[in-house]
A and B are shown apart, each in its own frame.
Chain A
């Protein structure tokens, strides 16, 4: 199982960014995919999940609801996180993880998002 995030970087407050998570080594379409994040020196915070299939149900954490959108492309074995109206407190390492339902069983190494002017 391989999970690899990309797309992190520095963005100004109010800006947008799209993260990608490329996967391999498993049947992508039958698994849920999650995003979680970790602010510098802080604990883990769950961000979002998209369930299996083409039109998988999507759920979000309270702090990102209405600003972030998760999606998946089963033909590319990739999950995305579109982040809008970014705030300084969104600064974190963003992890993508395969989900056996709500168990995050394989994690990527993360990509750093810094929201700063």
Chain B
């Protein structure tokens, strides 16, 4: 199975900050990487698919990059509604696997 490792596991940031989250795969997954946002008590929401494609309706302050084994999610200017937990997920093959999550909270 492909292991997904996210870092950091948590971070504190202020509104307006630039935030970067890293996800590493245990083997080459090309660009088969998705990012999800989960706000407290809510279902996850797809933000980025295929490593860098923005899902419809997602603000342009979210961006994704990377290929192979290392990927990043960047939030260019953090907004109050962005305080949440973010997960990466490999879509290269089954069993699909998620990273452990990165919780972004208010500094």
Asked whether A43 and B100 contact (CB < 8 A) given A59-B95, A61-B95, A62-B95, the answer is yes
Chain B contact surface mostly: loop
Residues of chain B lying within 8 A (CB to CB) of residue A46: 89, 95-98
Number of A positions contacting B (CB below 8 A): 23
Bound-state CA distance A44–B46 (Å) is 13
B32 and A102 contacting across the interface, CB-CB below 8 Å: yes
For chain B, the bracket of interface size reads 20 to 34
From B46, B94, B99, contact of A103 by CB (8 A): B46
Bound-state CA distance A107–B50 (Å) is 18
Within A59-99, which residues are at the interface with B (CB < 8 Å)?
Answer: 59-62, 95
A64 nearest CB across to chain B (Å): 10
B46 and A104 contacting across the interface, CB-CB below 8 Å: yes
Chain A contact surface mostly: strand
**B residues adjacent to A (C-beta < 8 A):** 1, 32, 34, 36, 38, 42-46, 49-50, 55, 87, 89, 91-101
A25 nearest CB across to chain B (Å): 14
A107 and B32 contacting across the interface, CB-CB below 8 Å: no
Residue of A nearest to B90 (CB): A102
Asked whether A107 and B98 contact (CB < 8 A) given A102-B32, A102-B91, the answer is no
Asked whether A43 and B98 contact (CB < 8 A) given A95-B44, A104-B34, the answer is yes
Bound-state CA distance A105–B93 (Å) is 17
B1 and A62 contacting across the interface, CB-CB below 8 Å: yes
Enumerate the 4 nearest inter-chain pairs by beta-carbon distance, A residue then B residue, closest first: A102-B91, A59-B94, A107-B43, A46-B96
